[in-house]
């Protein structure tokens, strides 16, 4: 889950972030992106400079710049809470990143927020209600497309919590929201194994195409393989295969290629380690070639799931089906 948090001055955003951190969410702030930019320019931090720098980044890199910069830190293995979202383009950028992103708006009346500001007495906080209104006025909306637009952000919120009472009441609302809106989605098995295959493909040493295959039985990986020159020989990317290094036409002169294919390597690795493949499902990032197709059939593999088409793929698919091997294309 990636939960964005936004709201006005002293609405309680920091308390929501702290509560979620205590429940294993990793916290990030778009303001940290601006702070990193200030450090890179050797500039001291101030509220005015933060606003100016954020506006400048949006003007030079697009309105969603802060969110896109932060996106590189959001890995799929953790839950995140993202604070200081102040522009609708930042919301859209995070939604484009993942369907698991949701925006929470924290609401509190002006009088309540002003009393909180007076109680916490932080340096730089407005000291009068008029000063609060003046500062917020520059953040609520702007004629400048790169300026802060909190009112527009509020309209994009998926959830809202009213923070006019105690801290315990706010935390209870957030807890209930999490309990009733578990909005992350797990990948289905085909997607899971094909994602593994795509990672395996990054180990390929072939200069022409990176291909990978994953063998599974009972939803358990038993072997993986990627294309490249045989064990103990010069890697393709180091000049080991003249045909690949000459970048010949795809599907031609395959008999001259020194690289083993991904499906071939997955099957031979199983044999090398004494692992039975009969009845297995083979996930591959490309439709098998004819040579690998014959090996798949004779190895007793029961199903082939492929992602991308391959030259002469129709012949391979036809032969697999004739031999009774289930075959289908992955629709990712």
Task: Assign 3-state DSSP to the chain and report helix, strand, coil percentages, each to 5.
Answer: 45, 15, 40
Q: Which two tokens stand for residue 311?
A: 């030259």
112 within 8 A of 102, measured Cβ to Cβ: no
DSSP 277: -
Q: Is 35 in a helix, a strand, or coil?
A: helix
Longest dimension (CA), the chain: 81
286 within 8 A of 233, measured Cβ to Cβ: no
CA-wise closest residue to 231 among 200, 276, 265, 273: 265
How, if at all, do strands 25-29 and 79-83 pair? parallel
Active site residues: 263
CA-wise closest residue to 208 among 265, 257, 266, 156: 257
Q: Which two tokens stand for residue 237?
A: 């990317």
65 within 8 A of 148, measured Cβ to Cβ: no
């Amino acid at each position: 889950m990636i939960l964005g948090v936004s709201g006005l001055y002293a609405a309680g955003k920091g308390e929501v972030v702290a509560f979620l951190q205590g429940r294993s969410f990793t916290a990030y702030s778009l303001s940290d992106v601006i702070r990193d930019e200030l450090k890179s320019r050797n500039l001291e931090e101030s509220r005015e400079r933060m606003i100016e720098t954020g506006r400048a980044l949006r003007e030079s890199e697009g309105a969603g710049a802060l969110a896109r910069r932060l996106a590189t830190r959001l890995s799929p293995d953790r839950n995140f809470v993202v604070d200081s979202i102040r522009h609708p383009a930042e919301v859209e950028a995070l939604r484009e990143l993942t369907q698991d992103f949701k925006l929470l708006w924290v609401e509190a009346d002006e009088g309540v927020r002003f009393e909180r500001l007076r109680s916490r007495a932080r340096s730089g906080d407005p000291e009068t209600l008029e000063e609060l209104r003046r500062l917020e006025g520059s953040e609520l909306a702007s004629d400048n497309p790169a300026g802060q637009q909190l009112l527009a952000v509020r309209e994009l919120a998926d959830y809202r919590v009213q923070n006019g009472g105690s801290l315990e009441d706010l935390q209870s609302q957030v807890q209930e929201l999490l309990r009733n809106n578990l909005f992350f989605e797990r990948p289905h098995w085909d997607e899971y194994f094909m994602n593994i295959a795509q990672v395996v493909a990054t180990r390929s040493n072939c200069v022409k195409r990176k291909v990978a295959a994953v063998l599974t039985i009972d939803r358990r990986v038993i072997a993986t393989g990627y294309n490249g020159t045989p064990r103990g020989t010069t890697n393709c990317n180091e000049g080991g295969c003249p045909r690949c290094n000459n970048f010949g036409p795809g599907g031609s002169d395959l008999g001259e290629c020194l690289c083993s294919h991904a499906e071939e390597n997955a099957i031979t690795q199983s044999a090398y380690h004494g692992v039975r493949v009969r009845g297995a499902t083979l996930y591959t990032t490309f439709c098998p070639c004819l040579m690998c197709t014959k090996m798949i059939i004779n190895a007793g593999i029961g199903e082939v799931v492929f992602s991308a088409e391959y030259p002469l793929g129709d012949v391979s698919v036809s032969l697999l089906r004739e031999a009774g091997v289930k075959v289908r294309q992955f629709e990712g």
